[in-house]
Amino acid sequence: MGQYVAPLRDMQFVLHELLKVEDEFKQLPKHAEIDKDIINQVLEEGGKFTSQVLFPLNHSGDREGCQLDKETHVVKTPTGFKEAYQQYVEAGWPALSCDPEFGGQGLPIVINNSFYEMLNSSNQAWTMYPGLSHGAYECLHEHGTPEQKAMYLPKLVSGEWTGTMCLTEPHCGTDLGLLRTKAEPQADGSYKITGGKIFISAGEHEMSSNILHLVLARLPEAPSGTKGISLFLVPKYIPNADGSVGPRNNIFCGAIEEKMGIHGNSTCQMNLDGATGWLIGEPNKGLNAMFVMMNAARLGVGMQSLGLTEVAYQNAVTYAKDRLQMRSLTGPKAPEKAADPIIVHPDVRRMLLTARAYAEGGRAFSSYVALQIDRELNHPDEQVRKDAADEVALLTPIIKAFLTDNGWIATSEAMQVYGGHGFISEWGMEQYVRDARINMIYEGTNTIQSLDLLGRKILMDNGAKLRKFGDKVKAFVEENGTNEALSEFITPLGDIGDKVGKLTMEIGMKAFQNPDEVGAAAVPYLRVVGHMVFAYFFAQMAKIALEKQDSGDNFYKAKLATARFYFARLLPETAMLIRQARAGSANLMALEADLF
Amino acid sequence: MGQYVAPLRDMQFVLHELLKVEDEFKQLPKHAEIDKDIINQVLEEGGKFTSQVLFPLNHSGDREGCQLDKETHVVKTPTGFKEAYQQYVEAGWPALSCDPEFGGQGLPIVINNSFYEMLNSSNQAWTMYPGLSHGAYECLHEHGTPEQKAMYLPKLVSGEWTGTMCLTEPHCGTDLGLLRTKAEPQADGSYKITGGKIFISAGEHEMSSNILHLVLARLPEAPSGTKGISLFLVPKYIPNADGSVGPRNNIFCGAIEEKMGIHGNSTCQMNLDGATGWLIGEPNKGLNAMFVMMNAARLGVGMQSLGLTEVAYQNAVTYAKDRLQMRSLTGPKAPEKAADPIIVHPDVRRMLLTARAYAEGGRAFSSYVALQIDRELNHPDEQVRKDAADEVALLTPIIKAFLTDNGWIATSEAMQVYGGHGFISEWGMEQYVRDARINMIYEGTNTIQSLDLLGRKILMDNGAKLRKFGDKVKAFVEENGTNEALSEFITPLGDIGDKVGKLTMEIGMKAFQNPDEVGAAAVPYLRVVGHMVFAYFFAQMAKIALEKQDSGDNFYKAKLATARFYFARLLPETAMLIRQARAGSANLMALEADLF
């Protein structure tokens, strides 16, 4: 039933050799003491926990799924999930990057990020139970009152309680302005909340002793649309003043969705019937408060697909080395066997390397973004913090959409390596494909991410944030332009950088005339920018690998081969994407709706 | 739970306006009497049967799946499947394009092909029960003895009995040379066959009163490899001399696979323990005989994905017109509603049009190939028959791989239109994606199809077959080169035609030096040729639509819009693919297997 071994060496390469996080942490007073040894130890322990405890529950969790007892409203999660969660809590994992003031270990986000990759490689459906707690933690940490923080944060940090996001309703997902759930103010300062929410991941379970639902709802006479939405904390059990669990609140799971994948996670319809809740942040500014959680969740979704990409790759490689089928076209490679292992075939390697390159590129990119979050949160210089925040804002939709599209491609290619066995459940590969599919949809579909990138993050500030990132790319190109050994990477990197600049200008001009041009270009545009980012990181990684290729350490040889594959085989997708992004809106808008 | 309406108008357009099949049939003595009315009547009846009888069983069949009773070895198919099969048999559908000598209706293959699209749109898993019967029919029709034909063909034609293909064994799928199942000759001319087969679609069920298994096995002292494989007919029940069903044969279903999709079909492990069988064709030439069935199956798999593409498109369009979410960026389009229907959004249209264009292109292309089969089988002129056979040989791997890759893309885009609801089983869209996935794998993975196209069909005859098809493309370009209204289609068609020629030459030269170059280029190469073929058919369809666009019939307006979308948005994939096909093998082969 497959395998997962945390890619510690590659994670360490990214953190220590590419991003040099130890040096970066020295500039962040809060993390100045964090050194390589601490980081490596956390990664090692994380690798053990995820491979040994969570991975063995992944396939069985998929087969078993979750069951709702409609009388008691209790959801039974797959066998072993609850016990694994206890081990997770006992080992202190929920606290990893949380504020020591509330019981956290105060480690940098970038370390937590690597751990999240492992969690998702080993078991995405399980990871979604604690996964949303961290977003709830961040949201309360930023927008909660001191009393709310004191009451709830320690419980989230310890993992004793978990969190959810309750946004979607049957008639509104993307368009939250349409939401109808109502909140009635009570004399004691609380609210009675009534409405129906759907698609609530980890909405009900018995893994933790309480669940904190963060619920979007409307106050009486609130303005219509998104400007009339407020955020409420609705605990499953209303806590007593001493923090112990009190009476059951009137928020219940009405049904569990049958779905394509992530069967181990309970995707719940939640009914609120005068449930008690408390306002978080300001009235009518709920979306603003929720965005903290949504941004965290978007990065988290990117990490889900990165995790799936890695584990699918690992398994496909093992299969490709074991499975004997046909001879190499250049003559037998294993003449003593009945046939050659299929890893001799060029197209099998193409499939494997596609997954490998998307894993390595995604790891470098997402770790970089996580490090920028640490800088945004902790750098003493305000300008540095602002620059980091701008970069995070720019790159978040790319992490979400590019990594999840890549995860879909990579898991599907990895499954294809297995031939017919890939389609059979017991081999475990088809689950990765099914699980990967949701990541392109939830927390804002990839179309929404693309519109966020192009419309909001780029065109709304006339490309300023993109230019700042582009300047980093240019600087790297300039710095290394005369390094002949690097030219195979630098030349296409400079080229894609120029093309992104030009394409952005073009679309910006067209958008002035016709706003539909943004929608028509956004999806291919995001992938073009994603490739520019990947090319930037692969070029940097290739530079390090070239410097160390004679070290006798094959790791660098492999890194270089993967980078070459990326530039030869994956970056050329931009030739298609740029044409599509330029194709304009007329070919999309011409057909009248009736004629579809 | 969705809908399916057979796209009769578009099928009629393809058959009557694009391919002018009535005129073609006049040249085929066997079909000279087949006119438009007959064709349209068959299509209409087919549309009713598939929408009304099969489509309602598609989702329930997926949820219910098949169950094996391990004691009796009986497989229970989903509720309603057996009854639907009876209706199918009673209506005479299995006989549609079969030889009247054996009870068939003798209609052209191209009509049967349209019906198969409908069958697969409405229920792929169900269609696979009778689906392999037709291949078995063709195989026996070509390679059976007169006695075998007399005994078995009428039963296959009536649908009383069904057929299977038993090729794969646990250790060999692609590499049939490794197969181990043994056949021992008996004194009465029969054989005792022993071995284990896996992945046998419709391998066991009670829908028909007998199942004819076509089994590959080795005779004693047969040469090793593919030259020692023979084909045997192994009936589930050994027929009595009068054609009635006799004793149960020793071939049993040992297990049903749990798999990603096509749950309604029983994918069986089959155990043969001295099962009685009869040789079909010559000893040791079993693969040759089986190829008749495999080629039919490969076209059939292409049709499966075309069917899924169409039905996924239809449902996504309905959803996109119903679902209200956000306002158009160019101002409200349905101001009286709370939000606009999502079909106003450019990227929703991009997703819909992708599925639509792949459906329309696939329909034109596959109908053309089916018509060539009719010409191959029935044209009085031997050279015409040979030319048609060459084209069918060339185009079969493209039908299989290009249409199934497109089906994967299209069903996934159609599912994405639904947002979160797409992932939920009850909406029915995720099933299409899961079902579509197998089509890229079975009957020869798409990598194998690509190698077949580039290695066997193109390079082995120095491109002669491809040139013949290319000459048709060139002739169309020449003929219409001065038609200014068509230039938006003709120019890119001529361009991709030239590029295919050049790319083929390049790869051919490189392959002389290094056979791995074929494997390194084959998969992107096949898609490039697939796009050339689609561009050729879209240009022809656009020409007809342009001529009739002022007819007041909106069908032509829509056809033109779809063709424009295809050229603007899908054909540009070739810019990526050509770069990938040219990238060579070094970037794939450099990494030593140990370093993966």
| Contacts B422 to A, Cβ<8 Å | 441
What class does CATH assign to B8-146?
mainly alpha
| Contacts A515 to B, Cβ<8 Å | 329-330
Q: What is the pLDDT of residue A81?
A: 98
Partner residue opposite A596 with nearest CB, options B173, B352, B580: B352
Q: Taking residues A160-184, what's their average pLDDT?
A: 96
Q: How far is A9 from chain B (nearest CA, A)?
A: 13
Q: What is the pLDDT of residues A367-411, one digit of tens each?
A: 999 999 999 999 999 999 999 999 999 999 999 999 999 999 999
Residue of A nearest to B583 (CA): A568
Residue of A nearest to B589 (CA): A346
**How many C-beta neighbours within 10 Å does residue B586 have?**
15
Q: Taking residues A494-519, what's their average pLDDT?
A: 97
Partner residue opposite B329 with nearest CB, options A515, A565, A593: A515
Query: Are B329 and A518 a contacting pair at CB < 8 A?
Result: yes
B80 and B59 Cβ atoms separated by less than 8 Å = no
Q: What is the pLDDT of residue A341?
A: 98
Partner residue opposite B259 with nearest CB, options A353, A424, A595: A424
SS3 percent helix, strand, coil of chain A, rounded to 5, is 65, 15, 25
Catalytic residues of B: 443
Q: Taking residues B365-376, what's their average pLDDT?
A: 97
Query: Are A516 and B199 a contacting pair at CB < 8 A?
Result: no
B387 and B450 Cβ atoms separated by less than 8 Å = no
Gyration radius of chain B over CA positions: 24
Which residue from B364, B493, B487 is spatially nearest to B13, judged by alpha carbons? B364
CA separation for the pair B596, A352 (Å, rounded): 8
| Contacts B436 to A, Cβ<8 Å | none
* B78 DSSP assignment: P
**Mean pLDDT, chain B, integer:** 97
Query: Are A259 and B425 a contacting pair at CB < 8 A?
Result: yes
Residue of B nearest to A579 (CA): B572
Q: How far is B471 from chain A (nearest CA, A)?
A: 27
Q: What is the pLDDT of residue B135?
A: 87
Query: Are A523 and B424 a contacting pair at CB < 8 A?
Result: no
Query: Are B516 and A588 a contacting pair at CB < 8 A?
Result: no
Which residue from A309, A431, A410, A263 is spatially nearest to B261, judged by alpha carbons? A431
Residue A1 has pLDDT above 80, yes or no: no
| Contacts B518 to A, Cβ<8 Å | 329
Q: Taking residues A325-349, what's their average pLDDT?
A: 97
Listed in sequence order, the residues at least 6 apart from B41 whose beta carbon sits closer than 8 Å to its beta carbon are none
Q: What is the pLDDT of residues B166-188, one digit of tens each?
A: 999 999 999 999 999 999 999 99
**Structure ipTM:** 0.98
pLDDT tier, A237 (very low <50, low <70, confident <90, very high otherwise): very high
Q: What is the pLDDT of residue B559?
A: 98
Query: Are B569 and A580 a contacting pair at CB < 8 A?
Result: yes
Query: Are A425 and B585 a contacting pair at CB < 8 A?
Result: no
Give buried/exposed letters for A522-542 (b at 16+ CB in 10 A, else e).
Answer: bbbbbbbbbbbbbbbbbbbbb
Q: What is the pLDDT of residue B292?
A: 84
- Chains A & B: contacts with CB separation below 8 Å: 263
Q: Taking residues B29-58, what's their average pLDDT?
A: 98
| Contacts A590 to B, Cβ<8 Å | 561, 564
Q: What is the pLDDT of residue B217?
A: 98
Q: Taking residues A545-550, what's their average pLDDT?
A: 95
How far are the Cα atoms of A173, A596, B416 from residue B326, in angstroms, in the given order?
A: 10, 20, 16
Q: What is the pLDDT of residue A135?
A: 87
CA separation for the pair B123, B108 (Å, rounded): 23
Q: What is the pLDDT of residue A307?
A: 98
Q: How far is A330 from chain B (nearest CA, A)?
A: 6
Q: How far is A570 from chain B (nearest CA, A)?
A: 8
Catalytic residues of A: 443
A237 and A284 Cβ atoms separated by less than 8 Å = no
Partner residue opposite A346 with nearest CB, options B520, B569, B593: B520
Q: What is the pLDDT of residues A247-274, one digit of tens each?
A: 999 999 999 999 999 999 999 999 999 9
CA separation for the pair B417, B411 (Å, rounded): 10
Q: Which one of A260, A351, A427, A488 makes the best mutation probe of the B interface by having the most chain B beta carbons within 10 Å?
A: A260
**How many C-beta neighbours within 10 Å does residue B385 have?**
16
- Helix (H) / strand (E) containing A255: strand A251-256
Q: What is the pLDDT of residues B461-503, one digit of tens each?
A: 999 999 999 999 999 999 999 999 999 999 999 999 999 999 9
CA separation for the pair A555, A569 (Å, rounded): 21
Q: What is the pLDDT of residue B291?
A: 87
* A432 DSSP assignment: H
Residue A291 has pLDDT above 90, yes or no: no
CA separation for the pair A188, A92 (Å, rounded): 36
Q: Taking residues A288-294, what's their average pLDDT?
A: 87
pLDDT tier, B134 (very low <50, low <70, confident <90, very high otherwise): confident
Query: Are A441 and B450 a contacting pair at CB < 8 A?
Result: no
Partner residue opposite A350 with nearest CB, options B562, B588, B596: B588
B172 beta partners: B169
CATH architecture of A161-284: Beta Barrel (2.40)
Q: Taking residues B248-274, what's their average pLDDT?
A: 98
Residue B67 has pLDDT above 90, yes or no: yes
**Domain ranges within chain B, ordered by starting residue:** 8-146, 161-284, 461-590
pLDDT tier, A293 (very low <50, low <70, confident <90, very high otherwise): confident
Gyration radius of chain A over CA positions: 24
Residue of A nearest to B262 (CA): A423
The residue whose two tokens read 């009778």 is B130
pLDDT tier, B293 (very low <50, low <70, confident <90, very high otherwise): confident
CATH architecture of A8-67+75-146: Orthogonal Bundle (1.10)
Reduce the DSSP state of residue A194 to 3 states and report it: strand
A208 and A160 Cβ atoms separated by less than 8 Å = yes
Partner residue opposite B426 with nearest CB, options A258, A557, A594: A258
Residue of B nearest to A580 (CA): B569
| Contacts B345 to A, Cβ<8 Å | 447, 519
DSSP H helices in B144-273: 146-158
Q: Taking residues B49-64, what's their average pLDDT?
A: 98
Q: How far is A314 from chain B (nearest CA, A)?
A: 9
**pLDDT over 90, % of chain A:** 98
B582 and B550 Cβ atoms separated by less than 8 Å = no
Q: What is the pLDDT of residues B297-307, one digit of tens each?
A: 999 999 999 99
